[in-house]
């Protein structure tokens, strides 16, 4: 690993391309990474330190919280709240935005995060992760909810950390997508996957097939055609992959292509979509587009949506460009 570039060096070298950069963003990103290293340690220890299982509570979305949901939320907040780089934060695990206490300096960024994506997998030892998004904010102000409700296209940075066999950080600052692997021996993320690009063609799709009867006709049409394989109108066989962990499914697509769908459905009229726009859909859409893929609801580009609330849900269809374009056409035909 001696010839590998560390994440810190990578960010500093990118910063040098912007003569007016103050270095504040680099420091903020280092704090986020430090929090993720702490989370990686907790996840890897599991039941050895008694962090698995239900916490006996629900989050703002009415989802049962795991112990690690609460622990990882606290790690992120405690690592970021004092830094002076932030004007505020938002987390999947609590209802309201998180303000910076008066005795800390306020900065010019807002951070939104899902501290433990895929936490339903944690008790069975499958991959989970952390997703984060960074927006600019007017410096020195007390942000209001409206300051958080920006279109995804306004993000200055997005990333996720996958806690799998290796701990991986995927990052974009709007100049492509790069992947870093945590070297446990030295405690540093090293650049191992530079300039990640998603193949435009694919033979894989990821979707929760148990919801088939609740989908709209365009999605049913697309999936049915994939299942027909060589004998169907597509004339080729597809493989289905489904981890039930957004970070794991997106990481696979970044590496070998594919399409991921968590579409609109009519199972619960109060929750027509699953994924939250601010700290799940937007950061992943930014990453996917920077890697040459596409991300849509089926009807519009995710990054063009003006959120109406921090916990707003949206349908998400993302991945290899040619397949996503086909699914969009099916929605237009319908």
Rounded CA-CA distance 261/103 in Å is 44
Known binder of ligand: residue 261?
Answer: no
Region 7-15: mean pLDDT is 88
Q: 247 and 116 in contact (C-beta within 8 Å)? A: no
Rounded CA-CA distance 51/324 in Å is 39
Tell me, what's the pLDDT at 1?
Answer: 47
Rounded CA-CA distance 61/253 in Å is 27
Rounded CA-CA distance 192/249 in Å is 19
Rounded CA-CA distance 284/296 in Å is 11
More confident residue, 25 or 327: 327
pTM of the model: 0.94
Known binder of ligand: residue 169?
Answer: no
More confident residue, 270 or 111: 111
Rounded CA-CA distance 15/11 in Å is 6
Average pLDDT, the chain: 91
Is-same-fold flag (7-193; 204-333)?
Answer: no
Tell me, what's the pLDDT at 235?
Answer: 96
Known binder of ligand: residue 239?
Answer: no
List the alpha helices (DSSP H) in 195-245. 217-228
**Residue 122: which pLDDT band, with cuts at 50, 70 and 90?**
confident
**Residue 170: which pLDDT band, with cuts at 50, 70 and 90?**
very high
Rounded CA-CA distance 195/212 in Å is 35
Rounded CA-CA distance 146/243 in Å is 34
Tell me, what's the pLDDT at 19?
Answer: 62
Region 173-192: mean pLDDT is 95
Q: What is the pLDDT of residues 16-52, one digit of tens each?
A: 777 666 678 889 999 999 999 999 998 888 776 666 7
Known binder of ligand: residue 133?
Answer: no
Known binder of ligand: residue 57?
Answer: no
Known binder of ligand: residue 119?
Answer: yes
Tell me, what's the pLDDT at 38?
Answer: 95
Known binder of ligand: residue 208?
Answer: yes
Known binder of ligand: residue 118?
Answer: yes
Known binder of ligand: residue 69?
Answer: no
Distances 70 to 42, 114, 197, 319 between C-alpha atoms, Å: 12, 11, 34, 30
Q: What is the pLDDT of residues 53-95, one digit of tens each?
A: 665 665 656 566 778 888 999 999 999 999 999 999 999 999 9
More confident residue, 60 or 158: 158
pLDDT at 257 exceeding the cut of 90? yes
Percent of residues, the chain, with pLDDT higher than 70 = 92
List the chain domain ranges: 7-193, 204-333
Spell out the CATH class of 7-193: alpha beta
Rounded CA-CA distance 65/54 in Å is 6
Tell me, what's the pLDDT at 305?
Answer: 98
The CATH T-level fold of domain 204-333 is D-Maltodextrin-Binding Protein; domain 2 (3.40.190)
């Amino acid at each position: 690993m001696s010839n590998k570039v560390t994440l810190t060096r990578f960010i500093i070298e990118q910063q040098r391309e912007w003569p007016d950069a103050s270095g504040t963003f680099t420091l903020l990103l280092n704090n986020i990474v430090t929090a993720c290293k702490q989370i990686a340690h907790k996840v890897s220890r599991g039941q050895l330190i008694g962090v698995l299982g239900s916490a006996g509570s629900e989050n703002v979305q009415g989802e049962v919280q795991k112990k690690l949901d609460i622990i990882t939320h606290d790690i992120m907040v405690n690592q970021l709240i004092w830094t002076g780089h932030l004007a505020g934060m938002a987390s999947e695990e609590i209802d309201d935005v998180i303000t910076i206490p008066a005795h800390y300096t306020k900065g010019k960024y807002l951070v939104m995060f899902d501290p433990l994506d895929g936490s339903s997998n944690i008790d069975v030892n499958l991959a989970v992760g952390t997703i984060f998004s960074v927006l600019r904010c007017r410096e020195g102000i007390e942000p209001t909810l409206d300051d958080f409700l920006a279109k995804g296209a306004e993000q200055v940075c997005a990333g996720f950390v996958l806690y799998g066999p290796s701990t991986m950080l995927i990052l974009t600052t709007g100049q492509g997508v790069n992947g870093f692997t945590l070297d446990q021996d030295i405690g540093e993320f090293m650049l191992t996957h530079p300039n990640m690009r998603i193949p435009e063609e694919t033979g894989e799709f990821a979707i929760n097939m148990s919801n088939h009867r609740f989908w709209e006709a365009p999605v049913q049409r697309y999936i049915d055609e994939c299942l027909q394989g060589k004998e169907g109108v597509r004339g080729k066989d597809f493989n289905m992959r489904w981890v039930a962990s957004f970070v794991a499914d997106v990481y696979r697509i970044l590496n070998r292509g594919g399409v991921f769908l968590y579409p609109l459905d009519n199972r619960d009229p109060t929750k027509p979509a699953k994924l939250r726009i601010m700290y799940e859909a937007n950061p992943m859409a930014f990453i996917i587009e920077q890697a040459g893929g596409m991300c849509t609801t089926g009807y519009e580009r995710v990054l063009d949506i003006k959120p109406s609330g921090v916990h707003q849900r949206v349908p998400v269809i993302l991945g290899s460009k040619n397949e996503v374009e086909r699914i969009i056409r099916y929605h237009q035909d319908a």
